[in-house]
Structure 1
């Protein structure tokens, strides 16, 4: 005989695609940090797989001018959202009618994006380099306004210096052969050497710019970002009240996070060529909550708080602009060209530690029976992404060289608004072993405009799922969701608009296998 769905267990029909229904577009949110597995009766275990395929396309900014907020539709960016998947696992058991324990694994935060094709986010950053030359070098060398003119001037100057060195060498050889010519050749040699020294001094900053420009223009890579995290949550629950309707629960959270970032093309202006690799770091926080249940009407409600987690991360950064700034600064302070070049090369790379604080969150989960075969559910999630920032030390340090961003400098990633997410669902038993469910959802996003590394402003969604009881204890579930993403403009940390993303969508698929055994106390 097939097992029968009871009203108080219909929530599992919704849980069939809970991973798909929670996966979020705001900030770096991904799993939604679901804890509903802990509220199942008896001994319960689940394994959930979620796959996200988002289509996020837009156009770069073709505007030429001084306004940071002006936008002119430019080249297509291609689909920047890479396919993304993650797993979630959970197991819990009731020790007795008062105490429960559980362990949950998920991958709460992440990002995976890459710009491809022909846009300002890929290839040689010609516009950025020419703008830098026009801003920093043209006032000193009026005949140089772009990279090609810079290369021509450097070639001509080096040829002139080579000729002058040859003339001095010839005079020195003649003097060595006939010391009697000293009254004539001595002053010529001294004058030539002085002219060569003066020429090398004038050429040194120009040559530094040329070396920087050549290195950047040779870079044809793509802008991309990859963020991954894993979280392990331990839970202890205590049921209270005469009927054990209330439960308080909490425990420790271990979280691991890592990231890679590469900024390429002209869109990132002077930051083009920046690369960082944040090594994996494990740190700890906590979770606490309160739940209420009334089994006779399948009512369950839970309010869960997760703390912030501070990560002290080792990060290796490469910032080509810093090498140029260091080299030209050393030349202004009297260093020789060789000394300045060595200082510039050493300044490009830096490995240090910095702090990233993953945000706190509040989840509210609710369900109640409508009739003997129908269950209504609701989920609400709040995450204060407006307080979140990623501030790599070298990136921040270089930004402070611009008085407009001092004294605090710039963050690499931050968000304007907090995230609110709401999802409503219905689950219906169609047969003794089969239930289906559907949801509608809304995500507020974390502000528009937003970072160009994740240019989505929330979404609306619809989803469907089903759960089938294979045996009395084992069940399989599957579900999916379609999402309409909110339009957003991508901006640099400086506030400059660099792209516009409209009319994008995506889908999420989830599959789960679960086991449940009731315990009688």
Structure 2
């Protein structure tokens, strides 16, 4: 049964762009804690989103109604690594390296006009880069009951350049949170339920900001941003011989996420650079089948409901639906899994800055509709 689960788990990992709200790119799983013996895995994912919209109001000369943003979301890749070692019959150690959050937004390449709220042709760009390291210990506290916990370190940095000649780049900061959870297992039917809590991680950034409106030369400022807490429920059970049903429900407290640099926030009517009004709840469900000792496969479906309201101009999406397939080849102690997923990205509207509306809030600037993404992933796993 473990071969079947690997196919589904790799698929979920490789397509996290469409599996989480906000800027989350890697929804961490504790499944490696329950691998037999010592275990090593390497994961690679490639994600190709296509997100575009049209302008709903004029935003200055050369930026009319109907201006096309072009594809603002750049392709990107993901890498992660996992290692688990049995210290004793009851105690195990796991290390996970991933890229928990990220963003690659570029209005400048395909924009037909000065879209993105622009009155110049420069467009807007934004990037967020991160690396996470999680160290976990698990303990078999009673028959079929395992408890686990550990420390999570996240290193993050970001840059943004907006249409109104505002720019900002942050320092690279490393800060810490914790992970706790518990799992129940019934091995004879391949059943397991695991509930995991990840605490928030707060970064205190030093930023260099510059702006022409208001006119501010490059200036060092400070602000804080919190990578939000989350709760993940993962489950699996055998439903027939060589057939496994598995899935997850994940809540992330995105309403606590806010990027509000000092000078940007001092502009007339400027909201936060990036924030979210609502939390996200993401559902994934899969069915895996072992065909023989060498081959197994899985199909998966994912859903995240739209929250409504306005999305940010640097992240104009709202919810998603996805379908995927994966296959695993087992060669002795090595398992190689490949998967692909297609994602229908939820429609979203973005809000016009008050400077474009004469101070009237709640006016739609951009309408982003009928957007999609596809993702592919590869996992190489080794039990020893």
Residue in 2 that maps onto 1:424: 285
Q: 1:255 to 1:445 in 2, by over 3 A?
A: farther
Q: Which one is further off, 507-516 or 440-449? A: 440-449
Cα offset, 1:302, TM superposition: 0.6
* In 1: Cα distance, 2:147 partner to 2:324 partner: 31
Distance change (3 Å), C-alpha of 1:352 and 1:296: same
Determine whether 1:254 maps to 2:153.
yes
User: CA offsets per residue over residues 91-149 of structure 1, 9 Å max, x none?
Assistant: 01111221011100111111111113223337972xxxxxxxxxxxxxxxxxxxxxxxx
Structure 1: 5+ residue stretches without partners = 1-6, 66-71, 126-216, 265-271, 324-346, 400-404
- Does structure 1 residue 263 correspond to structure 2 residue 162? yes
Question: What is the rounded CA distance, in whole Å, between the counterparts of 1:21 and 1:299 in structure 2?
Answer: 24
Shift of 1:9: 4.8
Larger mean CA deviation between 482-491 and 8-17 belongs to: 8-17
C-alpha contact (below 8 Å) 2:59/2:117 kept by paired residues? no
Say if 1:412 and 1:16 are closer, same or farther in 2 by CA, change over 3 A. closer
Q: Which whole-Å CA distance do the structure 2 matches of 1:20 and 1:393 have between them?
A: 36
Match of 2:90 among 88, 98, 102: 98
Distance 2:165 2:66 in 1: 22
Higher strand share: 2
With over 3 angstroms needed to count, the CA separation of the structure-2 counterparts of 1:462 and 1:123, relative to structure 1, is closer
- State the Cα distance separating 1:21 from its structure 2 match: 4.3
Give matches, 1:491-510, under 5 Å: 491-492=351-352, 495-510=362-377
Deviations 1:63-100 (A, max 9, x none): 589xxxxxx95111111110011111100111122101
Does 1:512 find its partner at 2:373?
no
Change (3 A) 1:284 1:492: farther
**Conserved 8 A contact 1:413-1:493:** no
Task: Give the C-alpha shift of residue 460 in structure 1.
Answer: 0.5
The corresponding residue for 2:358 is none
Matched, 1:298 2:190: yes
CA contact (8 A) 2:59 2:118 kept: no
Distance of 1:465 and 1:86 partners within structure 2: 17
SS at the partner of 1:17? helix
Cα deviation, residue 294, structure 1: 1.1
CA RMSD between the two structures: 2.0
| C-alpha contact 2:67 2:115 (8 A) present in aligned 1 | no
Q: Equivalent of 1:27, from 22, 25, 30?
A: 22
Match of 2:344 among 481, 484, 495: 484
Q: 1:36 to 1:73 in 2, by over 3 A?
A: farther
Total equivalences in the alignment: 371
Instruction: Compute the displacement of 1:322 (Å).
Output: 2.1
Q: Say if 2:332 is the partner of 1:440.
A: no
**Matches of 2:85 and 2:152, distance apart in 1:** 18
**Are the structure 2 counterparts of residues 280 and 291 from structure 1 closer, same or farther at C-alpha, using a change threshold of 3 Å?**
same
Alpha-carbon distance in 1 for matches of 2:114, 2:137: 51
Q: 1:231 and 2:132 equivalent? A: yes
Instruction: For structure 2, list consecutive stretches of 5 or more residues without a partner in the other structure.
Output: 355-361
Aligned to 2:208: 316
Q: Cα distance 1:278–1:482, how it changes in 2: closer, same or farther (>3 A)? A: same
Decide whether the 8 Å contact of 2:15 with 2:47 is kept in 1.
no
SS in 2 for 1:117: coil
Match of 1:370 among 239, 245, 257: 239
Q: Is the 8 A contact 2:137 2:149 kept in 1?
A: yes
CA deviations 1:211-245 (Å, max 9, x no partner) are: xxxxxx6xx4231111111100000111111x3x1
What's the offset of the Cα at 1:290?
Answer: 0.6
CA contact (8 A) 1:45 1:514 kept: yes
d(CA) in 1 for partners of 2:192, 2:48: 32
Query: How many angstroms does 1:349 deviate by?
Result: 2.2
What is the CA deviation profile of residues 168-201 of structure 1, one whole-angstrom value per residue up to 9, with x for unaligned ones? xxxxxxxxxxxxxxxxxxxxxxxxxxxxxxxxxx
Q: Which deviations, in whole Å up to 9, do the C-alpha atoms of 1:480-516 show, x marking residues without a partner?
A: 1000111111225654422101111110110010001
Q: 1:108 to 1:413 in 2, by over 3 A?
A: same
Alpha-carbon distance, 1:35 to partner? 2.5
Residues 7 and 339, structure 2, Cα contact 8 Å, conserved in 1: no
TM norm structure 1:
0.68
Task: Name the residue aligned to 2:6.
Answer: 12
Give 2:272's aligned residue.
411
Structure with the larger helix share: 1
Q: Secondary structure in 1 aligned to 2:223?
A: strand
Q: Secondary structure at the match of 2:14?
A: helix
| SS of aligned partner of 2:336 | strand
